[in-house]
Structure formats: structure tokens, C-alpha cells
Structure 1
Amino acid sequence: HPQSKHQLWPPFLPSCHLSEIRVMLLGARGSGKSSAGNTILGQGGSFEVRRRTVQWMVGAGDVAGRQVTVVDTPGWWMNYFSQDSPVFDRHYTLSPVSLCSPGPHALLLMVRVDRSFTGTYRRAVQEHLELITDAVWAHIIVLFNFGDWLGDTTIEQHIESEGEALQWLVEKCGNRYHVLNNRSNSGFQVTELMRKIEELMSFNSSSYCKIEGGILQEKRREEQKRAGERLTRRQKQRETARSLLGELNQSLSKWELYCPSELRIMLLSGRNTGRSSAGNTILGRGTLK
């Protein structure tokens, strides 16, 4: 296969052997974080994979001669931007940092190779990751999950074929990536991942990912400010509507206020957002197919 520009990493640096490795799994819901955690820990993995992770989970074990701690986090909605994600999820995405104190050696960003990586998802990933720390990109390794789906296609070919969104992400992470096949019993893929984490530490001069509380507090204050402004705008809209309705009632005091006998509405949104359920609620006993 022709060489790709994405084969530049890992750098030719002497890797430091770590006796302890702390990693945090990040990604969208359904990206396979829990499965990846079990694959990394091997027999020591005990993450629940049949239900959605709603709070942080911690697993630990001996992996390739290293004591490895894996923190699994709740995922964000794949196509939701950070301001649209529930506060619960954003809070619990950040809380696990204290569980691998003083900080994770690497942040493993889960990306499924069996799903298209769109520009909208790219923006969602960027906004959620930058909630953690401004220096987050220096500590990320893109972990391509469900590697068995690739077949004979190399990961470099996959990155090129997906287009600009995925290429941007890989390059933003310094061309650091690894493929994980959760159906494989081979320990080589996990040993290779440990080696890449050690090389990442060498590249960062043995600096782990530090979460500064001041940054998080500032971001939360900004979110609270925007939420307050949104509430104020909504209240002004309601006051304006009441005022207009009052003027309309006065102007039609000699006439009966027009009330249409028929209303037609259209429900619009993306897939799986509950349009049919909302229609059923509006219609009461009526049902939508």
C-alpha cells in the first residue's frame, strides 16, 4: 500500500518504560469505550458493555508488565455540541480525573471505524474535548475501535477515504492513533498501545494530562452566563407576546377573536429524536405511524 502522511507518528524518540499507566477513555455514546477498556485490561476487565455508562467506572490490572488503570466515562451524544449536552454528562466526563490522580498519562479518544465521521461529529468532539483543558490535544491518542470491520483495508487508507473531518482530527492529535479489535485475543495490540502511550510520554517530556480547576470554573461561569442570557431573552419574548395579544384583543373588542377550527403542524428533526412520540402526546388518543 502507498505510504500515507498519517504514518509519521510515533516519533523516533526513546520511550520511557512506565511501571504504572493511567488512561481515560473518551468518546461518544456507543463508541465502544467499555469494550475497549475490557480489551485493554484483559481478564481484569469488568466494564459493563450491555448498557450505557451513566457514571464513571474504574478498572485496573497488570498489563504487559505495567500496572494499568482505566477510567471509563459517560459519552456525549455523537452529533450534539457541548452547549447542548446535558450538564450531568459533562460533569461526569470531567470527574474521573480525580480517580487517576495526579492525572492520566493518555486520553484515548474512541472512534468507530464502522461509522462515518462527519463534520458535525468533528465539531462535537472538539468542543467536548476542549472542556477538559486547553492543552488536551497533546495528550490524545485516537483509538479506532471495531478494527475487525476494516478487513484488508489499512487504517491509513480508511483515514484518507473518510475525508477532511477525520483527517483533521488525526492531524490535530499529532497523527497519534491505534487500531483495536475487541474480538481478537492477541495481546500484541494492547502491548503496542502501551508502547505508544510510553512514546507519548517521552514526546511530552513525561508530563501527564493536568486538569486545571480554574479553567473548568471559568467555562462553567461562561455557560451559566449564556444560560441566564437565554432565559432573559425568552422572558422578553413572552412579555412581547402578551403585549401584542393585549393590543389584538383591544383592536378586536367589537369582533369575536378569530380561532381557527383546524391546525396543521409539521414535526422536524433528526432521526431518533422522538417526533412520533411527541405527535402522539399532542394528539392525545390519536397515534402516529
Structure 2
Amino acid sequence: MILFNERFDLNFDISRLQKDIQDQRRPAACVKHEGRFDGVKVTVVETPGWFRDTTPPDWIKEEVSHGVSMCAPGPHVVLLVVPVLTSFTEKDLKDLVEVLRPFTDRVWRHCMVLFTMGDFLNERPVEDYIVREGRSIQELLEKCGNRYHLLNCWHFGDPAPIKELFQNIIDLVTRNKGCFTTKDKQRTFQKLPQQKTMTEEEWNRREQQLIERVMKALEKEPEK
């Protein structure tokens, strides 16, 4: 959708998103394509996904690192694709954190959650999905500075949502004053200090804050 063409492998089946599908390691290697959008040269690198895979093996982390090097001096944004058709679990979050760990916490300043398959929300706001999914997706969003965007799979060729996505990316790049780089590589691969475990009370407080922020965007729940 970003490049408005079909250069990437689009052999897709909804069944591939089901929880019981074990082998979802496509593509097996990074794929890079270039194009133009609204007069701007755009490079898109697709990496092997962590979503719905078993524990990410070393080759996935190596390939993701390779994908970053394909965007020299570095990517302006790291889009973390999450289809709203499936649940985002605690294991999904742990796997993603493990995949990005070699880049240190600096990488999260350049990350944005890209929700896809938005048509399956049946015109309900994506904030509804965020509230319903609970802690795991909310923690991911918090790591990304609550940056996210929604794309509908049936709106291929419509430039409006892509323009909005690019505006969000421009705002992110402006805030970061540039792209993500792996400079100071010696420090990049140092072992990170273990994060403090949040208490139940802290989780409840953060969840309530998110609910209050998005409540205005939610439609009234139908009576059961």
C-alpha cells in the first residue's frame, strides 16, 4: 500500500493469521523495494516477522539487523505491523522485545505500531481494539510513545491513509532529529539492565488512564 504496487509477495490467506499455524516465517530474508510517493523517494524493507512465530531464532534477529543496514545510514521509522484480526499476546510482546534487543532502547524512539486489517473492526475505532486487548498491546504502544496508525486492507490505491501515515512519520523524524542509526556499536550491544516489574496497582492505573484517553473515541457498547 505504501508503494502502490505489488512488488512484495502478496500470497496471503487469512488462515495464516490463526494461532495454530506454526510456520509463519515469510519472508525468510529481508526484501527491499524503492518507489516514490507524492514526489518523495521511499525505501521499504520488509523483514521476517516475529508475530505468531515460535520463539524468535537467532536468524530472525540477524535478518532484522541486516534489514536496518539496507536502509543506510538507518531507517527513519520502524513500523511494527500488528493485524487487528488477531489477539496480541504477552508472548508476542516478549518476542518482539527480544528481536529488537540488539538495538538497545534507542530504537523504540523510532518505532510506530502499524495496525492492519482495519476493515475487520467494522468501522469501530482502533482505540476500541486497544482497550479490549489489554496490557500487552498497551505496553507495546507505551514503548513506542503511543504512536500508531491504522490501515484498511481493502483501500489499496487510496492515497489518503498513506498521506496520514507519512505525516506521522515526518512528525516522528522531526522529533528525533533524524533517522535511527547503529552508531556507537560497542555500547549498542551491551547487556541492558533488567526492567522493574510493575505491580498490579500500577498496571490498573495505567490501563485506566488509557481507557479515559480513548473513551471519547469509542462507540457505545450494544446491550447483550
Q: TM-score, normalising length from structure 1?
A: 0.57
Structure 1 gap ranges (5+) = 1-38, 220-289
* Map of 2:57 onto structure 1: 86
Map of 2:117 onto structure 1: 146
Contact 1:148 1:183 in 2 (8 A): yes
Counterpart of 2:66? 95
Q: What residue in structure 1 maps to residue 200 of structure 2?
A: none
1:256 corresponds in structure 2 to: none
- Secondary structure, in 3 states, of the residue corresponding to 1:156? helix
Which residue does the alignment assign to 1:264?
none
1:216 CA drift (Å): 5.8
Q: Quick check: 1:53 aligned with 2:53? A: no
- The match for 1:214 is 186
**Counterpart mapping for 1:1-289 below 5 A:** 39-43=1-5, 45-50=6-11, 52-76=26-50, 78=52, 80-81=54-55, 85-184=56-155, 185-204=157-176, 206-212=177-183, 213-215=185-187, 218=190
CA distance in 2, matches of 1:94, 1:47: 20
SS at structure 2 position matched to 1:100: coil
Q: Per-residue displacement from partner, 1:214-248 (whole Å, max 9, x unpaired)?
A: 356556xxxxxxxxxxxxxxxxxxxxxxxxxxxxx
Shift of 1:79: 5.5
Count the aligned residue pairs: 176
| Aligned residues of 1:79 and 1:120 also touching (Cα < 8 A) | no
How far is the alpha carbon of 1:188 from its aligned partner? 0.4
CA distance in 1, matches of 2:126, 2:59: 34
> SS state of the match for residue 34, structure 2?
strand
Cα deviation code 1:168-216 (max 9, x no counterpart):
1112211100001122031101111111000001111x22111243356
Q: Supply the distance in 1 between the matched residues of 2:150 and 2:167 (Cα, whole angstroms).
A: 13
For residue 41 of structure 1, give the secondary structure of its aligned residue in structure 2. Answer: coil
Equivalent pair of 2:84/2:120 in contact (CA under 8 Å): yes
Are the equivalent residues in 1 in contact too, given 2:48–2:64 (CA < 8 A)? yes
Larger radius of gyration: 1
Specify the code of the residue in structure 2 equivalent to 1:153: R
Paired with 1:63 and 1:104, the residues of 2 have a C-alpha distance of 17
2: distance between equivalents of 1:77 and 1:146?
Answer: 14
Contact 2:110–2:179 at 8 Å: present in 1 too? Answer: yes
| 8 Å contact from structure 2 (residues 84, 115) kept in 1 | yes
Task: State whether residues 78 and 124 of structure 1, in contact with CA within 8 Å, keep that contact through their aligned partners in structure 2.
Answer: no
- The residue matched to 2:102 in structure 1 has which SS? coil
Q: Where in structure 2 are there 5+ consecutive unaligned residues? A: 13-25, 192-224
* % identical equivalent positions: 36
8 Å CA contact 2:103–2:182 kept in 1: the answer is: yes
State the superposition RMSD in angstroms.
1.9
Which secondary structure does the structure 2 equivalent of 1:117 belong to? Answer: coil
